[in-house]
Amino acid sequence: MDRRRRAVEVAAAAAAVMVLLLLPIVPAGGARRDWGFHPPSSFVGYTEPNTKPDIRNSGQSFVFNYTLAKAIVEYASAVYMTDLTALYTWTCSRCNDLTRGFEVTCIIVDVQNCLQAFVGVDPNLNAIIVAIRGTQENSIQNWIKDLIWKQVNLNYPNMPNAKVHIGFYSSYNNTLLRPAITNAVRKARKLHGDCDIIVTGHSMGGAIASFCVLDLAISFGSDNVHLMSFGQPRVGNAAFASYFAKYVPKTIRMTHERDIVPHLPPYFFFLPQLTYRHFPREVWEHDVDGNTTFQVCDGSGEDPNCSRSVFVLFWSASDHLTYMGVKIEADDWSTCRIVMGQSVEQLGMSLASNIATSGHSVDVVIADHSVQVD
């Protein structure tokens, strides 16, 4: 066993060296810059409204709903917005198109841990939407480097042999997110009945969303609970992936072209029980002969013919920031500092006042303060 673990460490070190070579150094002052390789000039990063995308199921019975995915990616993008007033009134620059008519019922901001989420109801889908924000500030590069070295280091409760990434697990289970989200979902179900629950997130938000949707599936049952994440990293070992597939079978993990993040933390096929492993089902968005193709991958979670077919030297951080033609990144890369610029109490009172003036009914949960406006 020690030899195997040593082999994992050596392989991780080798992967780290290769990946770090791909990541440029952030210039002084923390200015943003482009990462990785650019797509070829023929790359189609979006599908025109009247163009039917190429969806390849590779003999799978699983059906990918493009229109649904296009709507959900807009929620995953909107949760990055820093203007909370525009979020709860659903008037932000990303709050349109397929998500028109969405009603926000709860906004959650965990200042200490720099986490943000919202819960609401989509009348067109007849579903409760839970969206969790991904990595904030100018930290994606350091976050990617850190992921290379992370090992599965926490036993998941009540799941024998299942181990998970302690950081992602704690970001949901040991912060404001878990009680606030479960309470908001419970309230929404009382008002709207047993409608579907769709949880989404991008990047780190997708990883946190995995633990959120598993928690909701155990609490509310698997039949009406769905996960659709975008560019999420691996979160647990093979045993955890197996449990997850059992409890949350209605799962789609979107990957895009050569996005580096879904390849992290590393997976080593020759030591499958000792390393991280994705749960199914992956849908890989990539370019084929100048056309955007959505390839439905097999049920293993680690289909070698999907995003894993991209050689490590061609992994790209820039492909991480766009999915289905939608930009998914912060509109301001210093959100946490903006929130910290005023006290939590002041922020809560300000939002409560704005909500009351607007006539909306929204719960605002900030740190350990909860302000409800009826």
* Among candidate residues 232, 231, 268, 235, the one with its CA nearest the CA of residue 153: 235
φ and ψ at residue 108, rounded to 5 degrees: -125, 125
Catalytic residue check, 320: yes
Catalytic residue check, 331: no
The torsion of the CA quartet 203, 209, 210, 214, rounded to 10 degrees, works out to 180
Distance CA 232, CA 204 (A): 6
Q: Which of 122, 215, 259, 363 is catalytic?
A: 259
Exposed e or buried b per residue across 273-283, where buried means at least 16 C-beta atoms within 10 angstroms of its C-beta: ebbbbbbbbbb
Distance CA 126, CA 121 (A): 7
Q: Which of 77, 226, 320, 363 is catalytic?
A: 320
Distance CA 155, CA 165 (A): 9
Catalytic residue check, 77: no
Distance CA 237, CA 153 (A): 10
Pairing of β 291-296 and β 54-56: parallel
Q: Which of 77, 171, 203, 229 is catalytic?
A: 203
Q: How far is CA 128 from CA 34, 107, 195, in A?
A: 35, 14, 7
Q: Read off the tokens for 100.
A: 């028109």
Distance CA 331, CA 116 (A): 14
Catalytic amino acids?
Answer: 203, 259, 320
